[in-house]
Amino acid sequence: SGIQTGECVPYNSSIKTCEVFAWCPVEDDYHIPKPAFLREAENFTLLVKNNIWYRKFNFSKRNILPTINSTYLKNCVYDAQTDPFCPIFRLGKIVEAAGQDFQEMAVEGGVMALQINWDCNLDRAASHCVPKYSFRRLDNKDSAHTVSPGYNFR
């Protein structure tokens, strides 16, 4: 979709389509590369910064805890068991924690949620108020039943 140019151009050998001005090419869901074009993205990392504020109690907190320094931040990677407060996540581990397979998802794409639970008892010390992360897949992995299947990179 986009602003039409007024030109009809070949879509394939037998069909023409209306040309549009577009920033990016229109998605082509018919020629999906296997193995996935971005299969190495499994090892890419994501730094998550999150802040909360309880206005009524004038209490704020962030997921990069006061005990975290730049040296630690350069080397840590989140692990629910061994490093639950590191705010850096491997994409493959996010997908795995949601019960999905990264290499399978990388073929057609997917939508993931990283949820941060702040269950804080403000009657206790602020150091007890820490984030807990969970992950889930938001889209329907059956591409026949999705509104907009495909990579959908935006």
Tens digits of per-residue pLDDT, 63-101? 999 999 999 999 999 999 999 999 999 999 999 999 999
98 in a structural domain: yes
Tens digits of per-residue pLDDT, 19-65? 888 766 666 667 777 888 888 999 999 999 999 999 999 999 999 99
20 in a structural domain: no
The span from the first CA to the last CA of the chain, in angstroms, equals 14
Domain containing residue 115: 30-145
With 0-12 CB in 10 A as exposed, 13-18 as middle and 19+ as buried, what is 30? exposed
**Residue 119: which CATH number?**
2.60.490.10
Domain count, the chain: 1
Please determine, for residue 1, whether its predicted confidence score (pLDDT) is greater than 70.
no
1 in a structural domain: no
40 in a structural domain: yes
More confident residue, 113 or 145: 113
More confident residue, 139 or 144: 139
With 0-12 CB in 10 A as exposed, 13-18 as middle and 19+ as buried, what is 85? middle
11 in a structural domain: no
C-alpha angle 6/8/11, rounded to 5°?
A: 140
10 in a structural domain: no
Please determine, for residue 110, whether its predicted confidence score (pLDDT) is greater than 70.
yes
Residue 154 pLDDT level (bands cut at 50, 70, 90): very low
60 in a structural domain: yes
pLDDT at 3: 82
Half-sphere exposure of 72 (CA within 13 A, CB side): 11
pTM listed for this prediction = 0.74
**What is d(CA 28, CA 64) in angstroms, rounded to the nearest whole number?**
40
17 in a structural domain: no
* Chain centroid, CA 26 distance in Å: 22
